Amino acid sequence: MNPRILTGTALALALAAGTIAAAGAQTTVAPGAPMPMASGRTQGQSNGSIAKAANRVGMMISALQKDDKDYGGHRVTAISDLTNAQNELNAAAQYADSHGYGSPGGANGGPEKNEPKHHAQSRSNYQIAHVQQSVEKMITHLQADDKDYGGHRANALNWLNQANTELTAAVQYEQSHPNG
């Protein structure tokens, strides 16, 4: 059995349990006030979180694509995982829009910057570590949202966790193969 599937299944079950527990909570809201979610965020804040995450992931993908080093194949796999996460976040934004959750904002890959085509090796090593830290922060932030967005948020978290695993492996690969 593929360990990535097992990890995703465990994550999906944990997120489902959290969603069910959150659904049991009741909240009193003043008339006309935005309905807060169990995390204390309004729907608009949650939608904004999804849109920001999609934009951030697009920037991470762009940064990693500029690296020449393969890191034992882990960089390319991380890019694929991040692309899947971005697709799920974009689908979550579309789900929010089509189900009356309000406007999620522009959830695309973000603007392209005029940077060099490829990073120098030291910049590449820094970029891998920086993207990994950003992915970890994004995972924590998205886990705080209560809305499921038709399962897309949970799927995005699964892909982000897989990308994080690949980026960790890329850092470890670099440490054991500094001239490789």
Residue 42 phi/psi, 5-degree rounding, is -80, 170
CA distance 121 to 50: 32
The tokens describing 9, both together, are: 């299944």
Q: Which residue has the higher pLDDT, 118 or 113?
A: 118
**H/E element holding 89?**
helix 74-98
How high is the pLDDT of residue 123? 65
Non-local (6+) Cβ contacts of 78 within 8 A are 64, 131, 163, 166, 167, 170
Closest CA to 81 of 160, 177, 175: 160
Q: What are the extents of the domains in the chain?
A: 39-176
φ/ψ region of 72 (left if φ > 0, alpha if ψ in -120 to 50, else beta) reads left
pTM: 0.67
pLDDT at 109 over 50: no
pLDDT bucket at 120, cuts 50 / 70 / 90: low
pLDDT bucket at 37, cuts 50 / 70 / 90: very low
CA dist list (Å): 79 to 57, 66, 166 = 10, 11, 9
pLDDT bucket at 50, cuts 50 / 70 / 90: confident
Residue 52 exposure: Cα atoms within 13 Å on the Cβ side: 13
Owner of token pair 């038709």: 150
Q: Which amino acid is at 67?
A: D
- The three-state secondary structure class of 143 is helix
How many beta carbons lie within 10 A of that of residue 104, not counting itself? Answer: 25
